[in-house]
Structure 1
Amino acid sequence: MIAQHLSHFKVWLQCHDNSSYRKLFVILKTIRACDFPTPRWFNQLVYACYSVVMTSASNFVRIFIYTPAFKGRATQCGRGLYLFGGVPFVSGPLTIKLGRNCRVSGHTTFSARPQSNQPLLIIGNNVDIGWQSTLAVGTRIEIQDNVRIAGRAFLFGYSGHSLDAQRRAAGDGDLDTDVGPITLEQDVWLGTNVTVCPNVTIGQGTIVGTGSVVTKSLPAFVLAAGNPARVIRQLEQGADHA
């Protein structure tokens, strides 16, 4: 309420017929935007202090609040979990199993289809899950070792809504036939804004380009892109995969 009154007062001053009121508005605006000149050494000192304080506070919260809170929700969690930006949002009857040395954005969403029998999310070792990604587990999502998932990826094993308009309007969920598992095999890399549909397996070492929609399974060691995603070219296999 106070903020609303201040906003009205600001507009009243700015648009007043009396020029003195308008000048007062300009003066107040100048005061609000004042910038005291400070030497560069002082600016650098303040920035260094700011960085130390903010980094220390962030690490303290991550180590003693974010990580234990998420581990309390997961069924299994290996060592070396690094959460950045908060605690991932988890909804539904989801079983979560994480391997070692995983890095997960706190802006990630993990959800489970309520109607499914024991939906399961398995995350292997050395996996990165980027900012604002969503993993919607219909039955099972498996992310194997060394997978990289960039920001805003969407793995949806279920949609949550019926394909029939009347059932959807009534709030009914999707049918079992519209739900399926998703598997990302070892060393897969999903670019930003990639969507993966149900009943899809992405083969080992495959890279999926930014903004792609994967509607069908992809073979190992290919570069795929598009909507729907298609194979662009083969990738060379590393010596460790030969």
Structure 2
Amino acid sequence: MNLALLIPRRGILPEPLPATPGDIPVVLLHGTVSSPGNFALIAARLRDEGRRVIGVEFGHRGTDRLELCLLDIVTTLERELEPGQRFDIVGHSLGGLMGLRLAHLPQFAGRVRTLVGLGACFRGQPVAWNPLVRALVTAVTGPSLVQLMCDAEIDAPIPEGVRVISIISDNDRIVDPSSSRIGEVRWVEGTSHALLTLHAEEVARALADGAADPHGISDPDDIDQDLGATGHETSRRVENI
């Protein structure tokens, strides 16, 4: 039995806006043992901007094997999106990795405009586990966590034309920052891994930046860049990796 599925869900997404011709929706991808409701504040903030959001629940709350998680996401998006329609992604934890893998699929080539990661485990979580511990973790939480906690870093190239903005907390005790550091990195202070989905203003700003001219990416030496008030104290450090 996957005991992790007994953990209560958190949050409820607001009613999404209807699809309109030429819109670029935002796809929300949750982490392990999570669900779309974790993005309630982000979804409400984007709805206020007139953005349509698509909350995707996948892989028995992200506990299935990674390939099955990805298949669930593909199936949902093929139903929710028009053929060839472009979209943005916000991915928390495992959802960031799933978003990156989605962008590499041939049927989605050129369709992902911006991928915003929130404590995203783009490179997995390398850890040395013996077979007995792996079997126990799989029984309790499902196989995805064991796949993420691999023997070596997962390669994380960024597909052509995709802008990745990774939001990382200096207080993340679940996903090591080294796993999240791809694309343009923005730091926030004091937020735990689970609560990174409360940074609605940060995410809205990142998506707006992603929609802007790609030549407008911030200089990594611009220490005065205002990352915005989010209810948490925010650092003023931006890096391009």
TM-score band w.r.t. shorter chain: under 0.3
The structure in which a higher percent of residues are strand is: 1
TM-score, normalised with respect to structure 2:
0.24
The structure in which a higher percent of residues are helix is: 2
For the pair shown, the structure with the greater C-alpha radius of gyration is: 1
- For CA contacts below 8 A with separation 6 or more, give which structure has more relative contact order: 2
